[in-house]
Amino acid sequence: MNRFLIIMATACLLGLAGCGELASRPAPAWQRVSLERFFNGLTVPVSLSIRLPGDFVLAGGIDAPVSHAYWMRPADVAKMRETRQLPADAAYLFGNMAPPVRFDRASGKFSGEDQLRSQLAAAGVRLLDQRKWQANGLPVLAIKAVGSDGRPIQVVYIATLADSYCLYITLRPAAGDAEGDERLWQQGALSIE
């Protein structure tokens, strides 16, 4: 199975449930968080940052299905601690190292990058946008797609250039909230610098 599909499938399994909460709230203030703080020591340090909704906090002390750094609203952190399940009714972000995805310095490409559209299509996932840029000398690839169930999927890969390792951040926008999805894409996913 393609490495991108594995990460996209993980994104689906860890949080396909979106929320109407972002749609019912006014556009949130945004905070800039270093990736070192975002990942909370789970990954190699990189000198980049991302914008997150202003009321999101690092979800510490949770028993999550997979070891990731999770960011969400404080009420959702409390609910997750109680239920031991990712919030089904709230937006959140998570990330970690992306072992199946590597970056090849010689080609300047992430593994599977050239075949991404066709491989996602074969899995029933429609690629909406794919952007690549350099942030402080590190290659970044952002993917916005819609799963076969119609829910948005946003994943950002960051090449650490420490060996061929990559980091990833999955952004879980609200299901059925095109405005919130686009806001999270434009102000969150594409804000890595």
28 confidence band (pLDDT: 50, 70, 90): low
Q: Where are the domains of the chain?
A: 3-191
pLDDT above 70 for 101: yes
Mean pLDDT of 97-110: 90
- DSSP 8-state secondary structure symbol assigned to residue 17: -
**pLDDT value at position 109?**
94
Residue type, 60: G
**pLDDT value at position 158?**
94
Q: Which residue has the higher pLDDT, 3 or 21?
A: 3
Task: Report H helices in 42-113.
Answer: 74-83
Enter the pTM of the model: 0.82
**Dist. CA 127–CA 110, nearest whole Å:** 16
**SS3 state at 159:** strand
Is the CB of residue 171 less than 8 Å from the CB of residue 154? yes
**pLDDT value at position 15?**
41
**pLDDT value at position 14?**
42
Question: How many C-beta atoms surround the C-beta of residue 77 within 10 A?
Answer: 22
CATH number of 3-191: 3.40.1000
63 confidence band (pLDDT: 50, 70, 90): low
Q: Which residue has the higher pLDDT, 126 or 63?
A: 126
- Average pLDDT of the chain is 81
Q: pLDDT (tens digit, 9 = 90+) per residue, 113-165?
A: 988 889 899 999 999 999 999 999 999 999 999 888 887 889 999 999 888 88
Identify the residue whose tokens are 């819609």: 146
**Dist. CA 80–CA 62, nearest whole Å:** 7
**Dist. CA 166–CA 77, nearest whole Å:** 27
pLDDT above 80 for 67: no
**SS3 state at 22:** helix
Here the tokens at position 48 are: 């980049």
**pLDDT value at position 2?**
53
pLDDT above 60 for 65: no
For residues 182, 131, 37, 183, the Cα torsion angle rounded to the nearest 10 degrees is -10
Nearest 5°: phi and psi at 42? -80, -15
User: Using CB atoms within 10 A of its CB, is residue 26 exposed (0-12), middle (13-18) or buried (19+)?
Assistant: exposed
